[in-house]
Amino acid sequence: AQSVTQPDIHITVSEGASLELRCNYSYGATPYLFWYVQSPGQGLQLLLKYFSGDTLVQGIKGFEAEFKRSQSSFNLRKPSVHWSDAAEYFCAVGAAGNMLTFGGGTRLMVKP
């Protein structure tokens, strides 16, 4: 069965600092990997996704993520965080014919 672990429940960074959110997955074959963002009181919005090819994927709002098969990881990064990035971030794994499995989420707080 597929599973996703986001080890950090809460992260606080200063505005302008770099950010890395961790995601580890378990899946038997090559997975499809996603990062979604949820602003307070809102639904989820796709940030980026990885299906195949280049292991470094670019997303919206200046985010990127790197797929590392050897580490079963798909960490999300941003070089300089803005106050508007404060939200909850979810990593998810899926595959053709299967539905998505989400991690527990990481809540990001941004200090001025």
Among 28, 40, 53, 97, binds another protein (CB under 8 A): 97
Among 53, 54, 70, 99, binds another protein (CB under 8 A): 99
85: phi then psi, degrees, rounded to nearest 5: -80, -10
Query: Counting contacts by CB under 8 A, is residue 80 touching another protein?
Result: no
* Alpha carbon separation from 61 to 64, 79, 81, 91, 94 (Å, rounded): 9, 11, 10, 16, 23
Query: Which part of the chain contacts another protein (CB under 8 A), choosing from 18-26, 36-44, 59-67, 72-80?
Result: 36-44
Contact yes or no for 77/65 (Cβ under 8 A): yes
Q: Count interface residues toward another protein (CB under 8 A).
A: 27
Query: Counting contacts by CB under 8 A, is residue 29 touching another protein?
Result: no
